[in-house]
Amino acid sequence: MDQYLMLILLALHTVAVACFAWAAVMEFEQRADNDVVRVKTGYLGIIEQKDHLADEKKQLQAEADRIFQMFELTREVTATFDEQEAFMAFREHMSRFLTVEDCQMLEHFPQDFNDFPLFKGYKFFPLRINKMVLGEIAYKGMADADEEAFTVLVHQFALGLRRIRLYHEVENLAITDGLTQMHTRRHLGERFEEEFRRATLRQVPLSVLMIDVDHFKKVNDQYGHLTGDMLLRAVARIILEHIREIDIAGRYGGEEFCLLLLDTDKPGALVVAERIREAIHAKGIKAYDAAIRVSVSIGVSSLPDDAAKVEELLDKADWALYRAKRSGRNRVVGFSVYPPENINPG
């Protein structure tokens, strides 16, 4: 009986041990499964984070490329003060980064494409700074994916183009007389030196006209300085209408003007001077409520007939003007000899 009981107890113990062992194995397997799931989840998280970082890297690289493009374009465009050179730099830069068949710059948007058959099929993008339109970019054959980058590059080019035009506006203000829109005396002197050297080197003629408005002080005294200013503007306009684009006109002082006639000998210069004198004398100038008829006196000197130096050529034109004043005004006098008198004609 005791042996039978011992066998039963031993069997129960064996079963209990087996149960505990099975439970331990199951718990271990569960833990192992949990660890596998956790590791797998962590791995997937790492993969996802890696993909996210790769996307961020691509975005950062694209942004860096965009910034670099803008920097390069700005550097290239601002390296010149010539609009055409700036556009060529823009177009070359754009062709390196974007897909585009053709690109042109226009001053204005074509209203009638019949007048612009070459631009049929093009798209147009305004060169705009705030509300100011500087022109249009005509382009075709651009990939849709490049449109956004193109917009950014065009804006950078517009900024550069505005800078170039501002520079020329400031430069023009510095060399232009505000009243007459002729060159200032300082700029006229610089151009005189340049053209004198060119004429001497090439052995071609150069003529100088000194023009003075007769009795201008009386106009100011009788009608006032505002009327006098309008008179000077009108005289300057007539002078500019009777010279070529290559000739150089400047306001020399008060009511006095100086012209440089390039590649023009003394006989030709005397013809131009007489044409200017006649045009001014024949035209009644209306200033406010006053209708004024004025005349001018003109002195002429020429290279190489009269002088071999800049100062001498200018001085002899001034002496010829003096002779015109002394001879009764409203006339043209070419330099011949210095007058013996030294009387201010007024």
Which residues are known catalytic residues?
Answer: 255
Name residues whose C-beta falls within 8 Å of residue 133's C-beta, 6 or more positions apart in sequence: 126, 127
Distance set, CA 45 to CA 35, 38, 41 (Å):
15, 10, 6
Q: Which of 336, 335, 333 is nearest to 324 (CA)?
A: 333
Distance (Å, whole) CA 304 – CA 284: 37
Name residues whose C-beta falls within 8 Å of residue 142's C-beta, 6 or more positions apart in sequence: 98, 99, 100, 101, 123, 150
- Contact status, residue 251 vs residue 184, Cβ threshold 8 Å: yes
Give the CA angle between residues 182, 187, 191 to the nearest 5°.
100
Q: Is the peptide bond before 304 cis (omega within 30 degrees of 0)?
A: yes
Q: Which ranges of 78-146 does DSSP label H, i.e. alpha helix?
A: 83-97
Distance (Å, whole) CA 223 – CA 215: 13
Distance (Å, whole) CA 67 – CA 150: 13
3-state secondary structure of 246: coil
Q: Is the dihedral of CA 130, 131, 136, 142 positive or negative?
A: positive
Strands 296-303 and 332-334: parallel
